[in-house]
A and B are shown apart, each in its own frame.
Chain A
Amino acid sequence: NAGVTQTPKFRVLKTGQSMTLLCAQDMNHEYMYWYRQDPGMGLRLIHYSVGEGTTAKGEVPDGYNVSRLKKQNFLLGLESAAPSQTSVYFCASSWVQGNFDQPQHFGDGTRLSIL
């Protein structure tokens, strides 16, 4: 049981290049999330999904797009990478019940540098 798996683990891009980060979960969770973590900023929500085929904006969505074509996968895309997008990106997933007191399960992150 792998939990939440992120690929790639590391990537270096040049300004203007595009790439897609992949998140896969094997826990049959409905909800999935993409965060970025910057020094001194904690985690900030980029986009999230409440089920297959749905996506929604989080706190810092600009410059990113997402897709959830399959329940187990959540893709984060950078169409034209900028140095300000240098960060560590985390994917998470969770169950959903009425009172929303289910923890989120995190992958180990993708470290992305934009030159």
Chain B
Amino acid sequence: SQQGEEDPQALSIQEGENATMNCSYKTSINNLQWYRQNSGRGLVHLILIRSNEREKHSGRLRVTLDTSKKSSSLLITASRAADTASYFCATLEKGGATNKLIFGTGTLLAVQP
């Protein structure tokens, strides 16, 4: 399988705490994206980081990328109950001719009020 892997598979924290989830992938990439999926819904794009970038911020989200280790992390600061969802990383393979993404297996985040 080409799929990446995410760690941990599940994470439970209290409201206000920070949540960190990690993603490992297998090939050289053009970019890496993070998506959120609420229960029973489709995926929603959160943030994209290009292969020549090392860190990116968007509101309470911080993403890092280490291409030498083929890994990325997503940090959600000051978490809220509404952040409860599954989070997926997805990679675009370098040199690919289309916008095909390879998705990780996801991290299920539960934020307790």
Contact = CB atoms under 8 A, between A and B. Distances in A.
Chain A interface size, under 10 / 10 to 19 / 20 to 34 / 35 or more: 20 to 34
A31 B98 contact: yes
A35 B101 CA distance: 11
Contacts of B99: 31, 94, 96, 100, 102, 104
A99 B96 CA distance: 10
A104 B103 CA distance: 12
Nearest to B93: A100
Contacts of A41: 3, 105
Contacts of B30: 99-101
B48 A48 contact: no
Interface of B: 2-3, 30-31, 33, 40-45, 48, 50, 88, 92, 96, 98-101, 103-106
Nearest to B98: A50
A50 B97 CA distance: 10
Contact of B98 (A4, A42, A100, A107): A100
A42 B2 contact: no
Contacts of A45: 100-101
Contacts of B96: 100
Most chain A CB within a 10 A radius of its CB, from B88, B101, B104: B101
B42 A107 contact: yes
A27 interface: no
Contacts of B45: 103-105
A103 B40 contact: no
Contacts of B2: 59
A49 to B, nearest CB: 10
Given A42-B103, A48-B100, A50-B98, 20 more contacts: A33-B100, A40-B105, A41-B3, A41-B105, A42-B3, A42-B106, A43-B103, A59-B2, A96-B99, A99-B30, A100-B31, A100-B92, A100-B98, A101-B50, A103-B48, A104-B45, A106-B42, A108-B42, A109-B40, A109-B41
10 contacts: A31-B99, A42-B104, A42-B106, A44-B103, A92-B42, A101-B48, A101-B50, A106-B43, A106-B44, A108-B40
Contacts of B101: 45, 104
